């Protein structure tokens, strides 16, 4: 009998109950006991749903109160001293302090989870002593068994991945730290073995990236330690997001199972299995259902793949599963009543993917009449969308082809544009600005909801938005900012807003996924050819500019961020879709310029998020990503200043591609990583305008003037003051008014002090 499994399930709930419970607790509206009860209900409902779908190996401990990497750090007592942890079970105040910061301690760094749109909290090793505070996988296993009779599969982040994703130690200390962690892993696994656990999933996605011999030695040593310590425990060493590197070394490890991604790593993993076979003493976890995408599986193709694999691996040692955790997709399509039937029929969210996994496991065991019907239905739905008019617009495809073939360059290089822009704008040294958005108050959200429901007319809504712009233009002037923004009060999400105004996009009613913490996003669906349909941002930006003599930036989301933060069609190359987006957004840039807006920010926070994990594929991706950005912005006048923004990724190895984007000014997050990006500029001269975020907007704390001054001083040791801008590290939409105003006033005061120092040096 072929078994079925998934690697994880969305934690947020169909109605984002998880998010609502967390934010109610943070806001003091519910007690800690009520929070535990609310999250227990969600967790058990998730297990029940998988149980009812027929999943054989149901993951437990994939649920989290914030983030699974943070959970691992907390379980091992890796709490930075600044949070005042005194030992024992970690209290929620410390747990959430690490994630969000406190009045007296900055939050731990946050960065992206491999090449996904999820972000995790980075563990810090430097001033901590690891100790097991709580066996969370064991508690989850017991709960599932006692509450629902489920023989769960505990999930735990593997030791090599945990080590490699952490910070606060020198490379030569890696072995020492691994040796401190392994006894804690062994303790967790022994307790699971004694409890009677059958399978444990140890996630090692790091194995799909670049590994050196030292990493492979550590990997071997860790799993040999586990094999000796828990010989009766079935360990599934799970990889995902790409094909496994060093396949031969991987399958030689002393584990009972190896999980491989046959969706995003299909080519490499399938080739490895064909050429090197698969061990007779191991179980293969075949990740054939896409855990990251929302499209219905072509069941016939998936079945053929499984049949090929079953020629190498007997069916009693084959588990049909998702390619990765379903954390990255919405919960269910069942409530998407507003989508066109041709599109809805082609979608599969988490619950539908559970059904696909079970269908394939059953179909591989024997093709029944229900399976044949499901096979035919999947083929019909996929073909109907593929041949639809929305996916076959020749005008759009030809325009994208021209973008791909033509050079994308400004009429003058930056060194020639810069003096023209300086003369035109007359900005002070160290100009100050913000990234774009201002707090979206309850009043703003209520007004938008009233407009969307039809309770407010378009005129009423626009009048309200204009009133918010009036308030914030005046406040920005009072605070003393040099370059203003209109505040983006008309926008819910920086990608959704543009998708709603472009052809080729669709929007779900409940297609929420977790981005970080309680932040949930509802990615647009790029299902057809993308096309410009008219100005999208001109009205609000032009109105804001009419209210001040200071420059107001036009604000757009760039083509690569829209691409990477959307669910994207699979029938054409992502590069081609990027060029469709670039052509559409170029028309918006030109419309802003025509309306008198001479500073235009085209945000690309997600450029690095789409970077392939394989080194061999990265150069090609960066080439077309950079070209798409330049194609969006290259037609403006020399005096028009193009800005862009990037945040919450590791950029030290991307300075050259960032420079190639040829933006006149780029702002990059650096505060939450405690200025580590600045070190990159100590080895690489950056010749364009740049702003390094001087405070973290994802924490509610108000940083002091001295903190910001220290960040500015360090940056100015390695960057040209005449090219340096000062700004927060990201948009301010999620912050409250008092903390936003206080932080910006501190930022302006820190800038004044920095200007005074520069003047004294002249």
Residues labelled as active-site residues:
698
Q: Is 488 annotated as a binding residue?
A: yes
DSSP type of residue 290: -
CB atoms inside a 10 Å sphere around CB 253: 19
* Strands (E) located in 331-375: none
For residue 620, what are the CA distances in angstroms to 399, 469, 574, 623, 657?
A: 21, 41, 12, 5, 11
| CB burial of residue 342 (10 Å; 0-12, 13-18, 19+) | middle
Alpha helices, DSSP H, located in 480-614? 496-499, 538-545, 559-564, 574-594
Determine whether the annotation assigns residue 277 to a binding site. no
Q: CB count, 10 Å around CB of 30?
A: 18
* Nearest-angstrom CA–CA distance, 591 and 594: 5
Cβ partners under 8 Å of residue 399, min gap 6: 580, 583
Q: How many residues does the chain have?
A: 762
Tokens 């800690």 belong to residue: 32
- Tokens coding 509: 């009613």
The answer on whether 117 is annotated among ligand-binding residues is yes
Contact 286, 319 (CB under 8 A): yes
Scanning 230-286, the segments in alpha helix (DSSP H) are 247-251, 266-276
Please provide the DSSP assignment of 408-439 as one string: ---SS-HHHHHHHHHHHH-PPSS-B---SB--
Beta carbons within 8 Å of 282's beta carbon, 6+ residues apart: 251, 255, 256, 257, 258, 317
Would the annotation count 406 as a binding residue?
Answer: no
CA–CA dist 550, 528 (Å, integer):
40
Q: Are 357 and 55 in contact (CB under 8 A)?
A: yes
Q: Is 684 annotated as a binding residue?
A: no
Lateral strand order in the sheet of 257-261? 3-5, 318-322, 283-289, 257-261, 234-238, 199-203, 153-157, 59-60
Question: Closest by alpha carbon to 99, among 84, 79, 126, 129?
Answer: 79
Contacts of 41 (CB under 8 A, 6+ apart): 17
399 vs 390: CA distance, rounded Å = 16
324 known member of a binding site: no
> Is residue 224 annotated as involved in ligand binding?
no
Pairing mode of beta strands 199-203, 234-238? parallel
| Beta pairing, strands 234-238 & 567-568 | unpaired
**Residue whose C-alpha is closest to residue 227's, from 260, 259, 207, 202:** 202
437 annotated as belonging to a binding site for a ligand: yes
Q: Do the annotations mark residue 194 as ligand-binding?
A: no
For 432-460, the DSSP string reads: B---SB----HHHHHHHHHHHTTSS-HHH
17 is in an annotated binding site: yes
312 labeled binding residue: no
Q: Is 609 annotated as belonging to a binding site? A: yes
642 labelled binding-site residue:
no
Distance of alpha carbon 624 from alpha carbon 28, whole angstroms: 47
Angstrom distance (rounded) from CA 626 to CA 96: 37
Q: Which residues contact 217 (CB under 8 A, 6 or more apart)?
A: none
Bridge-partner residues for 525, per DSSP?
Answer: 506, 567
Residue 403's closest CA among 535, 555, 559? 559
Half-sphere exposure of 723 (CA within 13 A, CB side): 20
* Residue 112 annotated in ligand binding: yes
* Residue 180 labelled as part of a binding site: no
- Round to whole Å and give the CA distance between 4 and 31: 38
Residue of 601, 735, 719, 712 whose CA lies nearest to 667: 601
Is residue 167 part of an annotated ligand binding site?
Answer: no
Query: Is residue 649 annotated as involved in ligand binding?
Result: no
| Structure-block tokens of residue 468 | 């918010």
757, containing H or E segment: helix 737-761
Q: Report the distance separating Cα 338 and Cα 262, nearest Å.
A: 32
Q: Which residues fall in the annotated binding site?
A: 16-19, 112, 117, 435-437, 488, 519-520, 565, 603, 609, 645, 647, 669, 730
Q: Which residues fall in the annotated binding site for 5-methyltetrahydropteroyltri-L-glutamate?
A: 16-19, 112, 117, 519-520, 565, 609
Q: Which residues fall in the annotated binding site for Zn(2+)?
A: 645, 647, 669, 730
Q: Which residues fall in the annotated binding site for L-methionine?
A: 435-437, 488, 603
Q: Which residues fall in the annotated binding site for L-homocysteine?
A: 435-437, 488, 603
């Amino acid at each position: 009998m072929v078994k079925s499994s998934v690697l994880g399930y969305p934690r947020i709930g169909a109605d984002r109950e998880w998010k609502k419970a967390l934010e109610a607790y943070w806001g003091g509206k519910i007690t800690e006991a009520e929070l535990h009860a609310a999250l227990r209900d969600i967790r058990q409902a998730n297990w029940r749903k998988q149980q009812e779908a027929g999943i054989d190996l149901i993951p437990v401990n994939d649920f989290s109160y914030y983030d699974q990497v943070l959970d691992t750090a907390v379980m091992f007592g890796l709490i930075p001293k600044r949070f005042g942890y005194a030992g024992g079970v970690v209290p929620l105040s410390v747990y959430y302090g690490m994630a969000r910061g406190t009045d007296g301690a900055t939050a731990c760094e946050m960065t992206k989870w491999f090449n996904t749109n999820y972000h995790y909290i980075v563990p810090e090793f430097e001033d901590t002593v690891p100790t097991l505070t709580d066996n969370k996988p064991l508690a989850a296993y017991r709960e599932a068994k006692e509450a629902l009779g489920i023989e769960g599969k505990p999930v735990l982040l593997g030791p090599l991945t945990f080590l490699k994703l952490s910070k606060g130690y020198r490379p030569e200390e890696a072995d020492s730290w691994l040796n401190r962690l392994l006894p804690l892993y062994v303790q967790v696994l022994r307790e699971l073995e004694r409890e009677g656990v059958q399978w444990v999933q140890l996630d090692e996605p790091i194995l799909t990236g670049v590994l050196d011999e030292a990493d492979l030695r550590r990997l071997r040593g860790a799993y040999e330690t586990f094999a000796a310590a828990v010989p009766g425990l079935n360990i599934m060493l799970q990889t995902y997001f790409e094909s496994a590197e060093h396949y031969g070394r991987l399958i030689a490890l002393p584990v009972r199972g190896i999980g491989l991604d046959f969706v995003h790593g299909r080519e490499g993993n399938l080739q490895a299995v064909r050429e090197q076979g698969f061990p007779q003493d191991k179980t293969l976890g075949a990740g054939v259902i896409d855990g990251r995408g929302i499209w219905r599986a072509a069941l016939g193709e998936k079945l053929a793949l499984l049949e090929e694999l079953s020629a190498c691996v007997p069916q009693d040692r084959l588990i049909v599963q998702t390619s990765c955790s379903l954390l990255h997709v919405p919960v269910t399509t069942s409530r998407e009543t507003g989508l066109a039937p041709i599109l809805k029929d082609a979608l599969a969210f988490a619950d539908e993917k559970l059904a696909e996994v079970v269908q394939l496991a059953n179909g591989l065991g024997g093709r029944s009449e229900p399976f044949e019907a499901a096979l035919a239905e999947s083929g019909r739905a996929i073909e109907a969308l593929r041949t639809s008019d929305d996916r076959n617009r020749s005008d759009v495809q030809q325009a994208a082809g021209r973008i791909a073939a033509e050079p994308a360059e400004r009429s003058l290089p930056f060194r020639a544009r810069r003096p023209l822009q300086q003369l035109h704008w007359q900005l002070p040294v160290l100009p100050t600005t913000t990234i774009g958005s201002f707090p979206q108050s309850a009043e703003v959200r209520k007004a938008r909801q009233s407009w969307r429901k039809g309770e407010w007319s378009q005129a009423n809504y626009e009048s309200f938005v204009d009133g918010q712009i009036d308030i914030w233009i005046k406040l920005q002037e009072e605070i003393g900012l040099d370059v203003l923004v209109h505040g983006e009060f008309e926008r819910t999400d920086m990608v959704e807003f543009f998708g709603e105004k472009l052809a080729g996009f669709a929007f779900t009613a409940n297609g929420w996924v977790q981005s970080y913490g309680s932040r949930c996003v509802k990615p647009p669906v790029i299902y057809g050819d993308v096309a410009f349909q008219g100005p999208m941002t001109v009205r609000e930006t032009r109105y804001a500019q009419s209210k001040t003599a200071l420059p107001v930036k036009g604000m757009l989301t760039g083509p690569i961020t829209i691409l990477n933060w959307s669910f994207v069609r699979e029938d054409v190359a992502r590069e081609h879709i990027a060029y469709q987006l670039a052509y559409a957004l170029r028309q918006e840039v030109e419309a802003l310029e025509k309306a008198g807006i001479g500073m235009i920010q085209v945000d690309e926070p997600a450029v690095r998020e789409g970077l392939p994990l394989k080194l061999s594929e990265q150069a090609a991706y960066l080439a077309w990503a950079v070209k798409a950005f330049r194609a969006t912005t290259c037609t403006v006048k020399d005096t028009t200043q193009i800005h862009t923004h990037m945040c919450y990724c590791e950029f030290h190895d991307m300075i050259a591609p960032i420079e190639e984007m040829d933006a006149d000014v780029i702002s990059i997050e650096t505060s939450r990583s405690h200025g580590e990006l600045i070190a990159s500029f100590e080895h690489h001269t950056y010749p364009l305008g740049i702003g390094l975020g001087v405070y973290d907007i994802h924490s509610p704390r108000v940083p002091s003037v001295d903190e910001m001054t220290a960040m500015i001083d360090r940056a100015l040791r390695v960057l040209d003051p005449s090219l340096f801008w000062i700004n927060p590290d990201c948009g301010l939409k999620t912050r409250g008014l008092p903390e936003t105003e206080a932080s910006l006033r501190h930022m302006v005061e820190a800038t004044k002090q920095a200007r005074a120092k520069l003047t004294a040096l002249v």
